[in-house]
Amino acid sequence: MNIPAFEPVDALLIVPALSAVILAFLSGYRLTSYVNFVSSGVAFFFACALLFHRPAAGNYLFVDDLNVVFVVLSTFIGFTTSAYSASYIGHEIETGKLSPAHVRFYHAMYQSMMFAMNLALLANNIGLMWVAVEFATLTTVLMVGIYRTPEALEAAWKYFILGSVGIALALFGTILVYMSAEPVLGEGYDAMVWTSLMQHAPAFSPRLLNVAFVFLMLGYGTKVGLVPMHAWLPDAHAEGPTPISAVLSGLLLNVALYAVLRFKMLLAANTAAIAPGPLMIALGLASLIFAGFMLYRRDDIKRLFAYSSIEHMGIITFAFGMGGPLANFAGLLHMTMHSLTKSAIFFAVGHIAQVKGTQKLANIRGLTESHPVLGWALVAGVMAIAGLPPFGVFMSEFLVVSSTFARQPLLAIPLAFGLLVAFGALLMRLIELAFGEPSESIGEVEASVVPLYFHLALVLLVGLWLEPHVAAWFQNVAASLG
Amino acid sequence: MENLSFDVAHLLAGGLVLVSFTLLYQNRMTGLINIFTLHAIVLSLSVAWQAYSQHAPHLYLTAAIAVLFKAVIIPLSLQRIMVRLRIHRDIEVVGGVGMTMLLGICLVALSLVVMLPATAAADPLAREDLAFALSVVLLGLLMMVTRRNAISQVIGFMSLENGLILAATGAKGMPLVVEISVAFSVLIAFIVIGIFLFRIRERFDTVDIQELDRVRGGRR
């Protein structure tokens, strides 16, 4: 019998799947959160191994320049979030908000979600990718509803229904892609495998691909949180446990975006099909401007940052829609910066909501005075996400705007407008939150600030000095995106 | 023989669109579930016919899943849930039947206009199937938009999903169809369990959790 060689790709799926099973049977939150932390760390280690060793593409899994970026980023944030989640969940147990049974369930689901996301990113098959995205949706729905409050259940239900409709539309698009490939590649697996699809894309029927892309864009776009399919996103972020808000913004949105990008590359390879760019630009700008205005009327701190996620996904979709090496580079960098910064903000917000006992913006005041460690981290995070120098987000936003100015000056006007609107809203909220007379706190929390400051330090580092190897790597990927 | 195969497939797929229209105006919950059962049966017949005419035995499995899961288990459990939630005799106000039907016709026309030119190169059977499948998907979406009751919405979603299965089986030799139909069944099972556990009556407005607490009361 031929035993296949051990590959880090397989480990990226096996480790989370196995730990999910183990965690389902372990009890005691200290032990389970430790296991969760260790297995997320191991997954991150194997993701880094992919940078140095790349296996040959199979019928089901493959690794290329594009998905390595996504895999490394999402396992990294999965790892740091698992560290944060340990202290967050500890506090929730002490205050009796979650029972030990819920925590066991939560950890098993956390690893299942990591499994599904890795599978979606590594899948070499459009059908398998769809199944993985669906599975990731299910696991996050279950985690969003974990508090069992009416609001949490409502948020989970809304997310469930809208997400299901989204992935149903995406499946229709997937079937259409298969049908356009079938006359060229023949029946069977070949016509669903990314690597062969990309090779033969120029021969596919362009009209069928056009219709397919509209469905895929709307379907996966729902999961990216693009306006007007965004309605689930703020609720899911606000009502679930905060580590889940961090992974939703940091990972899940990216995974859906990855699917959109892959299909965009497919269409770009077929010169007779419509250009996918304009649709992405339109949805991106709509998300940016709509979310920018919505930021002014929020009264819940987690909802505020959820709308900011919609805004940033809009910017990223816009950048990828513009296309070309520079805009793609900016989009990729912005996606990385947004994931790091937004998860850091949610780390801070989670502990802040725990010490203040509320998520209402009106009841959170003067954080830098009452909780300097968390307060100043929030100040740094919000300044970063609003796009102030010297943070990395400033650099990537600047690149998006300047590359747009160079090619389509007219589009740069609504883009800059949307950025300024969001900037104003975030700064206004930040001043209320961070300075002035501190509001009442209900208790103390053993905050884990290491992941928080680590993320912010990375964002700052990129803003000051983008390491040449990383820059070359991203440029390489950006060029392949077309 | 070639012609007969085409005609039967056409008949069954067209029948599915027709049943979708019937779903649109059902205002009684029991009637809705019965029509949905019919929808699932027509789907599984259509899938079985595809399995026969494409010589694809694995599609029989998809047809069997459709019959067993969607025509037996789901209707029965929805029936029970409605009795438990005491809404089985409810009449849902379906606003503007005429308007909804007109919209439905427009959607079918739209899907024909979109799909037929786009699939000019594909074989005629797949073409028509795809146009019908898109009609069923759009009619399902229309139903989800026009209904407020959670169960009607779920039935809308399931009919939408039947359209997708029709499209997937119509695409010749598409792999993973069985896996996809299993994945969808899991999704739907979760939705139904969700309704049952959390007493979800209306889409986003009422989640009657008081009832849930009372049921659990003994254990706390």
Among A157, A169, A187, whose Cβ lies nearest the Cβ of B194? A157
- Residue B189: the pLDDT is 83
Please, which residues bridge with residue B149 across strands? B202
Question: Which chain B residues have any C-beta within 8 angstroms of a chain A C-beta?
Answer: 114-115, 117-122, 126, 130, 133-134, 137, 141, 144, 153, 157, 160-161, 164, 167-168, 171-176, 179-180, 183, 186-187, 190-191, 194, 198, 200, 203-204, 207, 209
B-chain CB neighbours of A194 within 8 Å are: none
Residues B102-107: what's their mean pLDDT?
A: 92
Helix (H, G, I), strand (E, B) or coil at B128: helix
Q: Tell me which of A256 and B120 has the higher pLDDT.
A: A256
Q: Tokens at residue A34, please? A: 């430790």
Residues B24-40: what's their mean pLDDT?
A: 89
Mutate to test the interface with B, among A125, A138, A179, A235 (most CBs of B within 10 A): A179
* A270-316 pLDDT per residue, tens: 888 888 889 999 999 999 999 999 998 888 999 999 999 999 999 99
Cβ separation of A165 and B198 shorter than 8 Å?
Answer: no
pTM (two decimals): 0.91
Between the alpha carbon of residue B156 and those of residues A165, A211, A216, B97, the distances in Å are 10, 23, 21, 16
The alpha carbon of B136 is separated from its chain's Cα centroid by a whole number of angstroms, namely: 8
- Residue B211: the pLDDT is 42
Nearest to A315 by CA among A344, A289, A352: A289
End-to-end CA distance of chain A: 43
* A158-194 pLDDT per residue, tens: 888 889 899 899 999 999 999 888 888 888 788 888 8
| pLDDT > 90: percent of chain A | 47
Least confident range from A24-33, A63-72, A390-399, B40-49: namely A24-33
Are residues A243 and A85 in contact, defined by beta-carbon separation less than 8 angstroms?
Answer: yes
Q: Tell me which of A3 and A341 has the higher pLDDT.
A: A341
- Residue A2: the pLDDT is 52
Residues A216-238: what's their mean pLDDT?
A: 91
Helix (H, G, I), strand (E, B) or coil at A329: helix
Instruction: Please spell the DSSP secondary structure of A288-307, one letter per residue.
Output: HHHHHHHGGG--BHHHHHHH
End-to-end CA distance of chain B: 66
Are residues A339 and A250 in contact, defined by beta-carbon separation less than 8 angstroms?
Answer: yes
Cβ separation of B171 and A134 shorter than 8 Å?
Answer: no
Please, which residues bridge with residue A123 across strands? A61
- The mean of the pLDDT values for chain B is 81
How many domains does chain B divide into?
Answer: 1
∠A68-A396-A454 over CA atoms, to 5°?
A: 65
Please, which residues bridge with residue B207 across strands? B200
Using pLDDT thresholds of 50, 70 and 90, give the confidence band for residue B213.
very low
Distance (Å, rounded) from C-alpha B170 to C-alpha B18? 18
SS3 content of chain B, % helix, strand, coil (to 5): 80, 5, 15
Distance (Å, rounded) from C-alpha A382 to C-alpha A386? 6
Q: Tell me which of A449 and B39 has the higher pLDDT.
A: B39
Angle between helices A253-269 and A324-356 (to 10 degrees): 170
Distance, in angstroms, between B168 CA and closest chain A CA? 6
pLDDT(B207) > 60: no
Distance (Å, rounded) from C-alpha A115 to C-alpha A70? 14
Nearest to A237 by CA among A152, A351, A130: A152
- Residue B98: the pLDDT is 85
Q: Residues 6 or more apart from A320 whose CB is under 8 A from it?
A: A257, A260, A261, A264, A280, A327, A328, A331, A481
Distance (Å, rounded) from C-alpha B173 to C-alpha B59? 10
What is the maximal distance between C-alpha atoms in chain A? Answer: 72
- Residue A136: the pLDDT is 92
Nearest to A383 by CA among A336, A340, A430: A430
Q: Tokens at residue A312, please? A: 């940033």
Domain that holds residue B119: 2-219
A-chain CB neighbours of B144 within 8 Å are: 161, 165
Cβ separation of A172 and B114 shorter than 8 Å?
Answer: no
Distance, in angstroms, between A439 CA and closest chain B CA? 32
